[in-house]
Structure 1
Amino acid sequence: MFPKRFSILSRLSSTLPPSSRRFPETLTSNAFAIRSLSSLGSLMSLGKSNVGVVTELDKWVEEGKKVKPVELKRIIRTLRSRGKDSNALEVSEWMYKSDIFKFSPSDHAVQLDLIGKVRGPDAAESYFNNISDKHKNEKTYGALLNCYVRKCMTDKSLSHIQTMKEKGYASTVLAYNDLMALYANLGQYEKVPDVLAEMKENGISPDNFSYRTCIISYGMRSDVNGMEKLLEEIRSQNNFEMDWKTYSVVAKYYLKAGLTDKAKDALKKLEDKLDKKQDAGYNYLISLYSSIGNKTEVLRFWELKKAACKKCLNKDYMAMLDALVKLGEMEEAKSLLKEWESCGNGYDFRVPNTVLIAFCERGLVEEAEALLEDIVTSGKTPKPNSWSILAAGYNDKEEMSKAAECMKKALSAYVGNVGWIPKPKLITSILGWLGDEGKVEDVETFVGLLKAVVPSDREMYHTLLKAYLREGKEVDGLLNSMKADGIYEDEETKHILRQS
C-alpha cells in the first residue's frame, strides 16, 4: 500500500475493498503487567491496554526508572505503524514537554504530522508557526505540506510548496510526491505527469511512489498507451527497480482495461518481487487473482500467507472473504467465517459484513439474516451497518415490512458519533412505504428512532401525516411540532392534507 499520509490516493490504488482496510482495534482491559516501555508500546499497538499513556509514563519517571529517548521514539514508530496516531501523539507530546532531550527538526516533523492527523491541519499549522526558525527545514515544511495534501487543501498546498521552492526546501522527491498526490486526490489526474516531468527536469530522481502515482493517473483515465510508455521508461533505467506495490497497480489497470494476459504477467512479477514477510502483498495477489476468476491461485496465496505470517489478522480474513464471494464460493466463505470466529481475533463486524453484503447482492437476504441472527445468538451485538445491509437487501426485493424491521434494528443499535448514517435513498424508500401502509404506532417508533440519528425533516413529518390521516387521527399537534422544528407547510404538505 501507499504511505498512510495519502489516504485518498491509497484508496484509488487499492485492489482491496474498503472494508478490508486496517482500522485500530478496540482497546480492551489491561490484563498485562507493564514491565518496560517497550512492552507498553507493544500492548498499546496491539490494542491490549487501556492504560493512559501520560499516566503510565509519569509513573515510570516517579519510580526513578530511566526513560530513553530512543525507546520512546521506537514506541511512537510502532504506534504509527499500527494506525494508533492519537496514542503516538500522546507519547510525542509527553516527550516534548518533559524536556528529556531537545527536539530536532525531524522530531518536530513527526509531531506535526501526528497533530495534523489527530487534530487537523489548523492545529498543525499553529504548531508549525510556533516552531523556532532554526528548526524549520525541508522536513518540517514537508510535514505541514502533508497535512494540507491529506485534506485536499489546494490553495494552501500550492502556496506552501511555492514557499518551499523559494526557500530551497522543495528539491526533494517527497515534495514532488506530495504535489502529485494532491492532484490525484483531487481527481486532476492529467496534471500528475506534468509534475513528474518537472521533477526530472530539476534533476530529482523519481522513486516507486512517484511512478506509482503517475501510473494511477494514466489508469484512472484509461490511458493504457500512456501507462505503457511510462513502464518502458522505467524499465530502461538500469539503476531503478520496480517494487511489488507498483506491479500491483499495473496489474489492476491492465485488468480494468480487459488486458488479462498482461495483468497476469504483472502479477507474476509482483510475486517475484514480494518479500515473503510482506503480508499486505499476499492480500493484493488474492484480491487481483479473484478479479481474474482464478480460484486456484487465490487458494494458493492464502495458504502461502498463512505459512508466512504468524497470525492472520482481521484485514486478511476480510481480503480472503471478499475474494471468495467475488468467485461465488459462498459456502467456502461461510466456512472461512467460522474459522475466523474461532481464531481468537477481536470481533470486528466488518468481517461478517463482507459475507452479508455478498448474500444480499445475490438476493439471498434470508440467508444473510439467518447468519446475522446466529451471530446475535452467540452473544455478539451487531453494529447498525450490519442490520442496514439487510434492510437494503429486503428493500431491493421490495419486501418492505422486513426492510423497515431491519432498519429499525439498525437505528436501535445506533450509538452517537460512531460514524454511521443510514443511506438517504433507503430511508426515503422505507418512509414512503410506512406512510402508505404502516400503522401509526410503527411509524411513530421508526421516526422516533430516526430522529436520534439524523435531524428532523419534512419527509419524516409527511410520513407521520399520511399515517395519522389514514387512521383518522388528529394532526394539529403534529403540524405544530413540524412548525416548531422550523419546517413549514409546502405544496406537498397541503396535497397530503387535501387527500384526507
Structure 2
Amino acid sequence: MWALRRASTPLRNQGYRVRTSYVFGKLEVPYFWEGNVAGFGTAAALSDRFIYFDRNNLTTWPSSEVYISSHGLSTQAGAENSGEEGNVEDGCSELDETLPSTSPLEDSKTADDNEEELTSGSEIDDDDDVVDDGTQNELDLPEGETGLVEKISIKRAPSELLNVIWKAPGLTVSSALDKWVSEGKELSRDDISSAMLNLRKCRMYGKALQFSEWLETSGKLDFIENDYASRLYLIGKLRGLRMAENYIAKIPKSFQGEVVYQTLLVNCVIASNVHKAEKVFNKMKNLEFPITAFACNQLLLLYKRTDKRKIADVLLLMKKENVKYSTSTYRILIDVNGLSNDITGMEEVVDSMKAEGIKLDVETLSRLVKHYVSGGLKDKAKAVLKEMEEINSEGSRRPCRILLPLYGELQMEDEVRRLWEICESNPHIEECMAAIVAWGKLKNVQEAEKIFDRVVKTGEKLSARHYSTMLNVYREDSKMLTKGKEVVKQMAESGCRMDPFTLDAVVKLYVEAGEVEKADSFLVKAVLQNKKKPMFTTYITLMDRYASRGDVPNVEKNFAMMRRLGYVGRLSQFQTLIQAYVNAKAPAYGMRERMKADNVFPNKDLAGKLAQVDCLKMRKVSDLLD
C-alpha cells in the first residue's frame, strides 16, 4: 500500500554477543543477540531469563547452554532509543504503517486500500479522541467476515450517516443519531461499515466509540463477534485495558471467540503491556484457539519494542506449531535486523521471503531503503528505489508520496525535483506533505515553505499532522524557532487542536534551539490543556538533553511523569536516567532495585554506567570515613 510514512531512525545498540542456532522452515537461521536486539542474524543483550512457550503456558524460564563470544559492538544512531520505542516519528513511534482495522464493522484489507484516498478534509480532530502514539500503526487486525465496503473517499463521497456523526458536537453523537433515525432514515450494514471505517481512519476514536455504543444499546444493529470486537478495540484504546477486560465479560459467551481475544491482544500490544499480552495469548491457547501468524505477529511487535530477546522464542513457537510466516512477519524481522544495523541478517530475511515465493511490495522495499540509508549503504538504497519505481511502470502518481522522502533522505535533489514536477500541477495534499518532508531533508526550507503556503491557500481544513510536518522542517535548523512559533500560532488560529505529533515537533523545536526549559514548560501546559498523552520520544528528548547537563532533578521529574502516563519498564528510560547521574557525578542509590521492580535488565552499556555510579557510592562512603 502506498502511504506517506513518518521516517524513523534507530538508536545504535551495543552489548555482549550471544549465539545459538535454530532452524526455521527450510532455512537454518542463526539467532544472535546484541544490544537487546534479536531476530535473523541479529544481536541482543545477555540475560539469564527468556520467554518459554509450550502448548499450555507462556512463562519465564531460566536460560541455559548459552555461551558468550567476544565480538565488536554494533551501533546505529537515531530516535528509536535503543529500539525501545519507535514512535511514531517512528518513534513514539515505530515505523508508521497501516492504521489498524479492527474490522468488526470494516474489512481490514479495504481499510488499507482506502487509507490513501483520505484527504485533509477527513483528518479532523475530535475533542474526545486519543491520537495514536504510533505504536499501534503496525497492528493489522484480523479480517472480519462482515462489513466489507468498497473504496470510498470522505472528501469525494461522505455519506449522510457519516456527516451526522461528524458534525455532532462533543458527546452528543447518540442524540444526533436518535434524531436522524426519528426522521425515517434507514441504516444498512454497509452504511455503518463505511462510517466506522472513516471515523477510524480520521482517528476520531471518541465518536467511533459513541457510535458503536449507540448501535448496541439502541438495537439498531444485530451484533456479531466482529461488532463486539470493534467496540472492544475502541474501549481498550480510549478507556484502558481494565475497561476492555470488563467489557468482554458482558459479551455473550457465544460471541467470545477468537476475533474478540485477538482484538484484546492488540490492545495489550498498543499499551505495551507485556504481562497482559502474554496472559491473553496463553488464554487463547487454553481456549484452544489456533495459533495464528496474526497473534504471533502481535507478540513480535510487542517484543520488538520492549524485549527483543524474546523474539527468537516466538519464532520457535511458530515453527513448532507449523505457523507459516506472513508478509507482516517478514517485515517485522526486516525491521528488527535493520534497527540493529545487521544488514546481512536483514538480507537473509529478504532471501527467505523470495524463497517462499513472496513478492516484495513497495511497503517492504521502502523499509529496506530506510535501513540501507541508516547503515550508510546508499548504493544499495538507490538500487531498491529504482526497483520500486519499476514496480510502478504504469505511471501512477501514488508512489510519489513514499518515494519523495526517501530520495530526500539520500540527498538526491534532482530526483526530488523530478517527482515533484509530476505532481505539481494538481497535487494531492499527501503528495505535498511528502515533498515538504523531502525538501526539509535537503535543507531547502524555501521550497518546503512554498509548498506549505500553497496547501494553506487551498482553504482545506488541515490536520495537526500537516502542521507538524512543517514544524519538523524548521526544527532541523536551530535558527528557525521564530518561524516554528508562527506555524503553531497559525495552527491555533485555524481552530486545529494540537495532537501528540505536533506537541512532539514543538518540544523538539525548542530543544534544538537550546531552550530546554521552555520546551519542558510548554509540554506541561499542553498536557494540562489538551489532556492527550504525549509521545514516548517527546519525554526522552527532554530527558536526554537534561541528562547531558547532569540535571538529575529534571530527568527524575520527567521519568516520574512517564510512569504516570503508563510508559513503564523500558530500557531506554533507565539508560537516560542513569546517564544523568553519571554526568552529574552523583551516586544513584537504589537504581538496581528500581530496575528490577520494572523487570528491566541492563545490557552491557547500561551495566557499565551502573558500575560508574556504584563507584561514586563507594567514594561517598570513603569521604565520610576520611
Please report the TM-score for the alignment, with normalisation by the length of structure 1: 0.67
Q: What is the CA-CA distance between 1:189 and the residue it aligns to?
A: 2.9
- The reply to whether residue 86 of structure 1 matches residue 185 of structure 2 is no
Q: Which residue of 2 aligns with 1:62?
A: 182
Structure 2 counterpart of 1:265 = 383
d(CA) in 2 for partners of 1:137, 1:78: 26
* Alpha carbons 1:250, 1:263 under 8 Å: kept: yes
Distance 2:168 2:395 in 1: 30
Name 1:235's counterpart in structure 2: 354
Structure 2 vs 1, CA of residues 427 and 185 (structure 1 numbering), >3 Å: closer, same or farther? closer
Give the aligned residue type for 1:270.
M
Counterpart-to-counterpart distance in 1, 2:283 and 2:411: 50
1-structure distance, mates of 2:482, 2:4? 36
Aligned pairs for 1:316-355 (under 5 A) are 316-348=431-463, 351=466, 354-355=469-470
Aligned-residue identity in percent:
25
Q: Tell me if the contact between 1:148 and 1:157 (Cα under 8 Å) persists in the aligned partners.
A: yes
* Whole-angstrom distance in 2 between the partners of 1:153 and 1:122: 12
Per-residue deviation at 1:157? 0.9
Is the Cα contact below 8 Å between 2:206 and 2:238 reproduced in 1? Answer: yes
Residue of structure 1 aligned with 2:325, choices 206, 210, 213:
206
Structure 2 contact 225–255 (Cα < 8 Å) conserved = yes
Quick one: which amino acid aligns to residue 293 of structure 1?
A: Q
> Hey, what's the Cα distance between the residues in 1 that align with 2:264 and 2:526?
39
Q: For the Cα contact (< 8 Å) 1:176–1:195, is it kept in 2?
A: yes
Q: 1:101 Cα deviation (Å)?
A: 3.8
Distance 1:243 1:97, change over 3 A: same
1:40 equivalenced with 2:161 (yes/no): yes
SS of the equivalent of 1:12 reads coil
> Which residue of 1 is the match for residue 529 of structure 2?
416
Task: Report the CA distance between 1:201 and its aligned residue.
Answer: 4.0
Cα drift, residue 55 of structure 1:
1.7
* d(CA) in 1 for partners of 2:429, 2:400: 11
- Distance (Å, rounded) in 2 between the aligned partners of 1:380 and 1:391: 21
Could you say if the C-alpha distance between residues 230 and 361 of structure 1 is closer, same or farther in structure 2, counting changes exceeding 3 Å? closer
Give the distance between the partners of 1:157 and 1:407, measured in 2 at CA.
33
Instruction: Name which of 246, 249, 259 aligns with 1:139.
Output: 259
Q: Give the letter aligned to residue 168 of structure 1.
A: E
Residue 107 (structure 2) aligns with: none
Q: Amino acid of the residue matched to residue 455 of structure 2?
A: W
Aligned residue for 2:529, secondary structure, equals: coil
Select which of 98, 105, 116 maps to 2:218. 98
1:114-137 Cα distance to aligned partner (Å, 9 max, x none): 111121111111111221221111
Q: Is the 8 A contact 1:208 1:243 kept in 2?
A: no
Q: Tell me how large the CA RMSD over aligned residues is.
A: 4.3
- The alignment partner of 1:323 has SS state of helix
Say whether 1:287 aligns with 2:402.
Answer: no
- CA deviation string 1:91-127 (max 9, x = no partner): 2111111123431111111111111112111111111
The residue type equivalent to 1:340 in the other structure is V
Letter paired with 1:205: K
**Cα displacement string for residues 349-392 of structure 1 (whole angstroms, at most 9, x for unaligned residues):** 66555555545643434xx5267559869993897968867754
Displacement after TM superposition at 1:56 (Å):
2.2
Is the Cα–Cα contact under 8 Å of residues 363 and 393 in structure 1 kept in the other structure? yes
- 1:419-453 superposed Cα distances (whole Å, 9 cap, x missing partner): 47995798999xx9xxxxxxxxxxxxxxxxxxxxx
Q: Secondary structure at the match of 1:205?
A: coil
In structure 1, the gaps of 5 or more residues are: 16-21, 29-35, 433-500
237 and 294 in structure 1: CA distance in 2 versus 1, 3 angstrom threshold: same
- Quick one: which amino acid aligns to residue 108 of structure 1? Y
Q: Contact 1:189 / 1:220 at 8 angstroms: preserved in 2?
A: no
- The answer to whether the Cα contact below 8 Å between 2:429 and 2:455 also exists between their aligned partners in 1 is no
The within-5 A match list for 1:19-418 is 24-26=123-125, 38-41=159-162, 50=169, 52-186=172-306, 188-238=307-357, 240-273=358-391, 279=398, 282-304=400-422, 311-313=428-430, 316-348=431-463, 351=466, 354-355=469-470, 358-359=473-474, 361-365=476-480, 368-369=481-482, 372=485, 380=493, 392=511, 395=514, 416-417=529-530
Change in 2 beyond 3 A, CA 1:379/1:180: closer
Secondary structure of 1:203's counterpart equals coil
TM score, norm. by length of structure 2: 0.55
Distance 1:318 1:50 in 2: 29
Does structure 2 conserve the Cα–Cα contact (< 8 Å) formed by 1:282 and 1:301? yes
Cα separation, 2, equivalents of 1:222 and 1:379: 40
Q: Distance in 2 between matches of 1:75 and 1:176?
A: 30
Task: Give the Cα separation in 1 of the matches to 2:415 and 2:347.
Answer: 26
Partners of 2:164 and 2:176 within 8 A in 1: no
Total equivalences in the alignment: 401
The structure showing larger relative contact order (alpha-carbon pairs under 8 Å, at least 6 residues apart) is: 2
Shift of the alpha carbon at 1:253?
0.9
Q: Mean Cα displacement is larger for which, 60-69 or 173-182? A: 60-69
DSSP-derived class of the 1:95 partner: helix
Q: Distance in 2 between matches of 1:221 and 1:427?
A: 26
How far apart, in 2, do the equivalents of 1:307 and 1:211 lie? 38
Are the counterparts in 1 of residues 126 and 206 from structure 2 also a CA contact under 8 Å? no
Matches of 1:362 and 1:105, distance apart in 2: 51
Aligned to 1:33: none
- Seen in structure 2, the aligned counterparts of structure 1 residues 269 and 174 have a Cα distance that, compared at 3 Å, is same
CA distance in 2, matches of 1:167, 1:394: 55
Q: Which moved more, 1:269-278 or 1:191-200?
A: 269-278
Secondary structure at the aligned position of 1:13 is classed as coil
Separation in 1 of the partners of 2:339 and 2:257? 34
Distance 1:312 1:201 in 2: 47
Q: 1:48 to 1:237 in 2, by over 3 A?
A: same
- Cα displacement (A) at 1:324: 0.8
Structure with greater helix share of residues: 1
In structure 2, relative to structure 1, the CA distance for the partners of 1:373 and 1:289 (3 Å cut) is closer
For 1:199, the aligned partner's letter is M
1:160 to 1:273, Cα distance in 2 relative to 1, 3 A: farther
> Compared with structure 1, are the counterparts of its residues 306 and 144 closer, same or farther at alpha carbon in structure 2 (3 Å cutoff)?
farther
AA partner of residue 285 (structure 1): L
Q: Is the 8 A contact 2:285 2:291 kept in 1?
A: yes
User: Aligned pair in 2 of structure 1 residues 270, 190: CA closer, same or farther (>3 Å)?
Assistant: farther
Task: Compute the displacement of 1:251 (Å).
Answer: 1.3
Q: Note the C-alpha offset of 1:282.
A: 3.5
Task: Look at both structures and tell me which one has the larger radius of gyration over its CA atoms.
Answer: 1
- Helix, strand or coil for the counterpart of 2:159? helix
The farther-off stretch of 351-360 and 95-104 is 351-360
Residues 424, 416 of structure 1: alpha-carbon distance in 2 compared, 3 angstrom cutoff: farther
CA distance in 2, matches of 1:37, 1:57: 16
